Amino acid sequence: MDRLKWGNDFMKRRLSKAEKERDVHPDTLKRIKRVKRMTKMTENVANDILFRVIKVYGFFTSSVANTKVGRKFFSRFPGEIVLATLDGFSVEFGDSQPYF
């Protein structure tokens, strides 16, 4: 029973400190805005690269896919690999942002 009372008192002390209102430093707000802006730009770059790759890939496949060599090549190299690679690029590039 003593241990339970001690735990209750301990939690009351810890919660009373957390209940105080705290202001966020203006520099911290600037950093948060910068990170949001970087994340948005990173997503835009990844989407642009993905769009261009799909466009080039479509042009390339339309001219080459009808040949015998093209059929063999594309049967071994599915297009989903390119999309998955660029999606991974988007995730990794987005995570490598500097958090100052």
**Mean pLDDT for all residues in the chain:** 71
| Angle made by CA atoms 67, 68, 73, in degrees to the nearest 5 | 95
Token pair belonging to 2: 């003593």
Tens digits of residue pLDDT in 13-52: 776 555 555 677 888 889 989 999 998 898 888 888 878 8
Domain spans in the chain, listed from the N-terminal domain onward: 25-95
Of 86, 84, 85, 82, nearest to 57 by C-alpha is: 82
